[in-house]
Structure 1
Amino acid sequence: MEAIYLLGSITSTIVTSSLLSLSLAARSLLSRVLASPSPDLGGSELSTNGGGGDGDVPAVRLYEGRVRHARRRPVSHAFEYPVRYALIDLDRTQPHLRLSHLSADRAREVAATNGPVLLLTIPASVGYEQNPLSVYYCYDVVGEQEQEGGGSSPRLKMCIAEVTNTPWGEQVLFVFNPGSDLVAKPLHVSPFMDMLGNWIMHADAPGEDLSIAISVEHPTLGNYFTAILHAKQVHSSSSSLKLATFFWLMPHKVAICIYWQALKLWWKNVSFLQHPKYINPMYRDDALTRDRRLCCCPSIGRSKNHSIRTSDEDNSYRWCVWRDAQWPWS
């Protein structure tokens, strides 16, 4: 049943995206003929940003870069592909840009911050969305007295990861320290990885460049997998039409890469693992328990450079929530 749904979903996406691509091409041609600019998505300009730069910063910044994955065990397998991301100021953008994401106020509540919230994500394109990882950068603003005395710009305090697995479409959101953090794996992101690994996560404050690095620390395979995003800012702001053109088929390309690399791993005889919900319905609770141990027991793997963001109610737990998949994966 799931295989039939997947084929049907792919077919529907191809048809819908083809029709919307034709519509986008027509809009682009009409815009050139009429030479009329589209309304800007960015709204007003920011006076400061978390990257510490001077001058106004647009509400939507566009980045272009590459994602690289490297697996060292049980077989060697590495690849990279180009990506395009939007860095969106959630306080200053129109709601349709962030329908499926946290609001700025909710992100600040979760991260216990009081400053800007920037979302790094791949926007939907021609009716399709594919985001293996989106990141919320949550900033703190210095106090009024410190600002009057010449204080610094808002500083990046906490990040929120929003991870989506393919093809199931489940999501998990959790906080992590951008400097370095160790997180017990909370989601079945790949049918070629079990749930026993921990994620070592690092994210630089975005400026002209941005980078995110995730490596997997496994009890038997060691540090056997690394995923790295490096990107550079390519535009300061964009009209709605230019934004749609910039991200045209970007989610589709990411999905194709995911399935193609999965086929290669299968061809290399890497074991295909069933979703843990069919074997252990309590796998999410198990992930929370492992994460609590990482917080409470440094001897089991947490180095002095790793830290954990916990809730105010219980200092043993990291804030972590799941969003279930849609039918028929649910």
Structure 2
Amino acid sequence: MTERPASALYAGHVTHLRLRPRRHRFRYRVHSLLLDLDELETLDRQLRLFSVDAFNLFSFHQQDRGDGGGAPLKSRIEAQLEAAGFSPDGGPVRLLTMPRILGWSFNPLSVFFCCRKSGDVFAILWEVDNTFGQRHAYLLPVEKTFGGEILQTCAKKFYVSPFMDLDLRYDFRVKPPKETLRIRIDASDCEGLVLRAAQFAERRELTDAALARAFLSLPLQTLSVVGGIVWEAVKLWLKGIGLRKRPPPPAESASLAPPVSNREKVH
């Protein structure tokens, strides 16, 4: 029996709930791809509506993620893991991201699940893009789980929304993609929770038929995501939430939290 590919289409929705200083909530539909980076060549060959590093109805360009270098994306991610004190063993690296649609994309968040050959996730790279053309990533070890979910935390280092302070803490809670996907990100300050963002999605086999249905149901996904960000910003401004000045991005491309065993060696 042929093993089912790890790569898949995930159909679901994203919600944002802001609690302070004004309550504000919005929700939008989204189709994401889970791409096993070892399967890119096979997907490019087998699918007619999806291409790797080339134009198509749906596409994925390896230079869109990470440092944008010309080397294969998996080798660049593994080099980043090695530099941070992790020890990848050649196991899968699976990327959850929104694809290019007719050559255009914007990804507020892309998530790399870095796995051992056993399939266990040992690190997650949370890659954040803002609407000012800047990018920063948080590379965190998997050291705490609860009920099948991975729990991680780090300090916010990167300006994303002009309505959010930088002095916040992120708490990540993620159920790695299987039949369903759940991601929750809480942003908190010293007084408690400020914002909760969540994504819930269900798996679909990554086929031309599934891609065609996804396009017909949400043909302007990229435009709706970008337009939605702008529209929600207008509504926040009308609610009287002031703008925060945008600081320079961090000098380093990623904030690193190496494994406990290596934290005395990695700075």
Deviation at 1:250, TM superposition (A): 1.2
Q: Secondary structure at the match of 2:232?
A: helix
Distance 2:6 2:207 in 1: 7
Matched, 1:137 2:113: yes
Task: Show the counterpart of 1:73.
Answer: 20
1:263 and 2:238 aligned: no
Structure 2 residue identity aligned to 1:175: L
Q: C-alpha deviations, 1:202-235, integer Å up to 9, x for none?
A: 221211101111101212x421111010000123
Distance in 1, Cα, partners of 2:111 & 2:14 = 15
Q: Which residue of 2 aligns with 1:284?
A: 250
Query: Is it true that 1:211 corresponds to 2:182 in the alignment?
Result: yes
2:124 to 146, 159, 163: 159
2:139 pairs, out of 172, 175, 186, with: 175
Matched, 1:113 2:54: no
> Hey, which of these two has a bigger chunk of strand by percent?
2
The alpha-carbon deviation at position 193 of structure 1 amounts to: 0.6
CA distance in 1, matches of 2:176, 2:37: 16
- Contact 2:184/2:199 (8 A) holds in 1: yes
| Alpha-carbon distance in 1 for matches of 2:210, 2:179 | 22
The structure in which a higher percent of residues are helix is 1
C-alpha contact 2:204 2:210 (8 A) present in aligned 1: no
Q: What are the equivalent positions in structure 2 for 1:22-37 lying under 5 Å apart? A: none
Q: Which amino acid aligns with 2:201?
A: A
- RMSD, matched Cα: 2.9
Q: Does 1:250 align with 2:214?
A: no
1:315: how far off? 4.3
Given the superposition, is the C-alpha separation of residues 315 and 77 from structure 1 closer, same or farther in structure 2, using an over 3 Å criterion? farther
Q: Quickly say closer, same or farther: Cα 1:198–1:186, change in 2 above 3 A.
A: same
Pair 1:123-2:99 in alignment: yes
Q: CA deviation at 1:110?
A: 3.0
Matched, 1:225 2:203: no
**Counterpart of 1:57 in 2: which secondary structure?**
coil
- CA 1:163 to 1:309, structure 2 compared with 1: closer, same or farther past 3 Å? farther
Task: Select which of 49, 55, 61 maps to 2:8.
Answer: 61
2:130 is the alignment partner of 1:186: no
SS at match of 1:194: coil
TM-score (normalizing by structure 1): 0.62
Distance 1:199 1:309, change over 3 A: farther
CA–CA separation in structure 1 for the residues paired with 2:200 and 2:210:
25
Matches within 5 A, 1:4-15: none
- Identity, % of aligned positions: 29
8 Å contact from structure 1 (residues 310, 316) kept in 2: no
Aligned 8 A contact 2:11 2:202 in 1: yes
Q: CA deviation at 1:239?
A: 7.2
For residue 62 of structure 1, give the secondary structure of its aligned residue in structure 2: strand
Bigger Cα Rg: 1
- Please name the residue that 2:56 is paired with: none
The separation in 2 between residues aligned to 1:248 and 1:177, in whole angstroms, is 36
Letter in 1 for 2:74: A
> Mind listing any 5+ residue stretches in structure 2 that lack a counterpart?
42-51, 54-59, 67-72, 82-86, 143-149
Cα distance in 2 between the residues matched to 1:310 and 1:274: 35
TM-score when normalising by structure 2: 0.76
Gaps of 5+ in 1: 1-46, 48-54, 143-153, 278-282, 296-307, 318-330
**1:93 aligned counterpart, secondary structure:** helix
Q: Give the drift of 1:59.
A: 5.5
Comparing 238-247 with 253-262, greater Cα deviation is found at 238-247
